[in-house]
Structure 1
Amino acid sequence: MTTQGEFVIRWTPIRDNLGEYFPICFITEGLSGSSVYQSEMRCVVVEVGRRKVKAKVVCDETKMTVEVEKSSVTGIHEDHLRLNDPSNSACDLQRFSNNTHIIGVIPLNACGTQIEEDDDNLIFKNEITTFDNPNDIITRHHQVEIQFYCQYAKRGNVSLGFTAHRDSITVVEKGFGTFTYQFEFYQTSQFTNMVDPRDYPLDVVVKQMLYMDIEAVSTVNNTELFVESCRAAPYDNPNYHPTYPIIENGCIVDETVQIFSPRHQRHFQFGMEAFKFIGMHDQVYISCSVILCEAGNPNTRCAQGCVNSTSPQPAGHHHRKREAAMQTAKHHISQGPLRLRRSSESSVTNMNMGLMVGCIVAAVAMLCGVMLYKDKTSGVKYQPLTTFET
């Protein structure tokens, strides 16, 4: 007995299935009168691949133009998309978009465009990102990201020197002599295994717990360390904008921060969940403002602890403290970078990732545009605050 028919197997994979193979086996049964017929088992192998985004990138000497077909990306609208730096009105994606395409015309020196280089090329990168609140600057959640860049051939060779790990800083102050601040990352909350300086930059994933220890090394007895503020920035510059506050005025700002009891009063040990800055900033530096005080003195900034910025301070308070050499001036110490692995590099792989390349040849160089699309669940929080004060 021979019959023919069509059967449809429906199955929805998840993000973690990207690149994996799944065998699906089945049999068919037929009924003829009182007899039941069964076929041999058949198997098919399904590969979970990447969904292509229909888009193109055109590069010229001063700008990048990117066009994304709306129909190829689910659930995006130009009024909820932005480039790395949305503050410039010239970078508004609604200016050129239409009913069928998201269109961005991005100057090479604006809209948060990042520049990198290798031995042969200059690479200008930017990214289209979804947002819920236009004022958000960081996220611990995944969102839609459409990355693109233009690559320009260059003449000659350029070599860059880069030292990742930040060394300790040594300070000399009247009444405290010579002392040193050290800022290090640790493997666990036990603070027994320090991360090797040769391992920097540190590769971490979003929401991974980070453990940090700041230590004041001093020959002066009866001193204590106070961390007044800590901020995160995509560069090792506390005045760079945007920065994200972790601790402010001695008060915890980030909701994931955990303070640990140190083994000595000249240590400050804390932990927090890793995050990334929204946009193409894939690295994070942590910079803290620290003070060394006379231990047990109730008139020092260390003794005050968390102080609300609106709380009144006694007149001449800081002047008297400095005269009596009860505390040092504020000093800044930083460590990093932390390099945030994207979801395609980590265990949270992404199914909907497309890569598209378009190249044109100009008279002066070869220009290449590349686009990478990531579909993630949207969800951002945190508000921007001011940068470090000098």
Structure 2
Amino acid sequence: MEALTLLLCLLLTTFQANTIGSWTTDNWLDFTESFSEPCGGNMTDWRGVLLSPWYPNNYPNNAQCTWTIHSTGNTTVSLIFTDVDLETCCDYIKVYDGPSTLHPLLGEIREYRNQSFKSSNNDLTVFFYSDSSVTRRGFYATWLFVESCGGYMTDWMGDFSSPRYPNNYPDNSYCTWTIHSTGNMTVSLTFTDVVLETCCDYIKVYDGPSTLHPLLGEIREYRNQSFKSSSNDLTVFFYSDSSVTRRGFHANWVFVDVGNINTTYTTITPETNSSEPCGGNMTDWRGVLLSPRYPNNYPNNAQCTWTIHSTGNTTVSLIFTDVDLETCCDYIKVYDGPSTLHPFLGEIREYRNQSFKSSNNDLTVFFYSDHSVTRRGFYATWLFVESCGGYMTDWIGDFSSPRYPNNYPDNSYCTWTIHSTGNMTVSLTFIDVVLETCCDYIKVYDGPSTLHPLLGEIREYRNQSFKSSSNDLTVFFYSDSSVTRRGFHANWVFVVPHPECGGHLYGSGLFSSPNYPNYYHDNAYCVWYLSALQGQRLFLTFADVQLERCCNCDYITIYDGSSTGHSQLGKVCFNDTTHQVFHSSSRYLTVVFRSDYSGVSHGFKALFTSSLSADEGHVNCSSDNMVIVIQRSYLNSLGLSGNDLYVDEHLCRPNISSTEVVFSFPLDACGTVKEMMNGYVSYTNNVWASQSQSGEITRQSQFLLHVGCRMEPNTMVQIFYKTMENINTNITGTGRFNASIAFYTSSSFNQQIYDSPYEVNLNQLLYVQVELNRHDNSLDLFLDTCVASPNPSDFKDRSYDLLHNGCPRDNTYYSYTSGEHYYAQFSFRAFKFLRTHAYVYLQCKVIICPGNDYNSRCRQGCRFRRKRSLDSTYHTNTVTLGPIKLKGIV
């Protein structure tokens, strides 16, 4: 027994550490209710989830759990706690920067706050302790391995390189650098070294703040490679595939002034051709520095000294945008301080990447020309710079205006970009804002630059929170030249976006609230548009309703038509499923689910189906009788005859004519049920079919029509299906089987993936299920062939076989079941096609056989040669799935 308990505990630890969202709360309860305590483990996946034991149910007493998260190579571990609920007095979490609790303590957690940690090397250790009394929900945390690359650069001049340069860059690199200038400046970029795997790795340069802007060029090898932006921004994207790496690249940039700057400067331009006075002291925050007489030739024997002096928490940034000197003998020297006695920063004799920045408030420039030969001279610009802005990639953090909580400076131009990865969005909250409301402001943009949609402008404090629609948020802060205030402070956190909900549904089926049966999220707004064939009506029931106990807070509204503009049939709230049955007056119904900003529950599950059309059947009721009429042509399409039919009371038989099958009986006979529903009286019965002996596999093993009459002043009557999960009621009348194919999150096949495209990593395990749309245990579904292609309309010219004639062709293909149920399940590892885009599509051919035929094709498994005469006797279908998209590939 002890050995069994230990095994279960180890399984629990593995699932908790490595499974993201694939098990429901009920799964965990069933799995864990019989044991406790042993927990912790070693995690090496690049991304995962860390949970307290039994989360989201209360953790046990006396827990002592240690998890070590180990990355490899040039990566660190980033860990964020997104839910913490502990007994604050006595239970806690401790995080250590290393592979054990003997390493430096990064922090202790007893309650939720901004709780994010990053290792300094490859390892992070988490220790969880609970005492002998009082337990809570525990904690939920996620980790990610991070290798630094990319960035957001705002300096006048600088350089950057591929990861690990000059050593080989790693496989699977996806790095984006954005270089942002201000004002009338553009970006000039030069690649000084490029060594890549030319077939597969590349650099792309875009004329703007993101890869959505025009492509200036692609680089795979070194040549004369320089680029210039048309405005303030250049973006560089670097990609490497999963094999073969090289030294990489090195590049540098400089900002270039494309026009004149309207400002004052101090430069003496003498008239005489001798050693003339020039130079000066500059204190303006921005200006221009020129050689004497520029752009005409400077004089001989010039000796000019300029000192540029800033104040406060600013430095001086100086860039030379034009230099033309007698290179043998004339020169410029730049010093880091208020005179030429301070440290020498550099000498200039010709134009190259020439930019300088002071370490404090002063920069000194000295110009010398000898007694012979003069040239045009030089043109330079300076700007006082106070550090602000940045590019943030941590899971959680905060930032503030310059000098906060002291007053920010005049003339601030600060840009912060917050970048998440994967399926995470950015949630940003301003917790303090005090600005000069007339003139200073903050702007928040939904994307990686200020060119993206504006989410809002802030000039004073109010309830100010923003959420990105994808991976990036950009914040821009501006202050004018007069009057300053305390500024602002804000924090951000990366969040998993709410699941998509709503959509267009057809015919019959079921739908549910987001995350059902787990809790739905706050502020949900979901709209389902239900439709059926012309001449049919829709019938809607709620099998489960568990909403917040406030009917004006969380509720479901049903509309009798194709939009919310039609009349309202009813409203569902709380947990009342009694009498919640709705009939459309046309072939359309619209269902809306809303939740407010607080208080959630498990949600709802609804079932809908369509009635028979008028040329297939109808029902008439009077105060005394119910008459059910079903056309024989409809029954024939299902392989049924009138003699197969009966109602809930088997002794009640129909009258059969050449065209119709008719049941006629009193309302209180033949098993008819009377109910009071929403203020009206309804009578219901069921039409069944006995098992046919014809052997046609297109026949239903059990046929069910739910027949109802609703007695109102304007009586509405109809035939409709009542969808039951254990009874097959999805009768289409076509005599063919329809199959569907979908991805799932794990080998338990509990949670379907609805994303399109489905973004995956190379070599990631993918789980696929193919099933009959109408679940029928009397039928078996066999996977015959599965083919992958980069083209959804062509699975022949360029394809890759996962499975052929029931035989695996891919060494990662694994079959969980095929040919034994009405569904088949398999897995394989993600791959990509060479020399094409990152999308992959799947097409599978399935064979459907009677379950009681033990000699059928479904029972024969892998067969290297196809026997057409045998296969042709079985129903076949082809299903297509996709696209799969590799993450990060553009």
Question: Higher RCO, 1 or 2 (CA under 8 Å, sep at least 6)?
Answer: 1
TM-score range, shorter chain: 0.3 to 0.5
Larger Rg, first or second structure (1 or 2)? 2
TM-score, normalized by length of structure 1? 0.44
TM-score, normalized by length of structure 2? 0.21
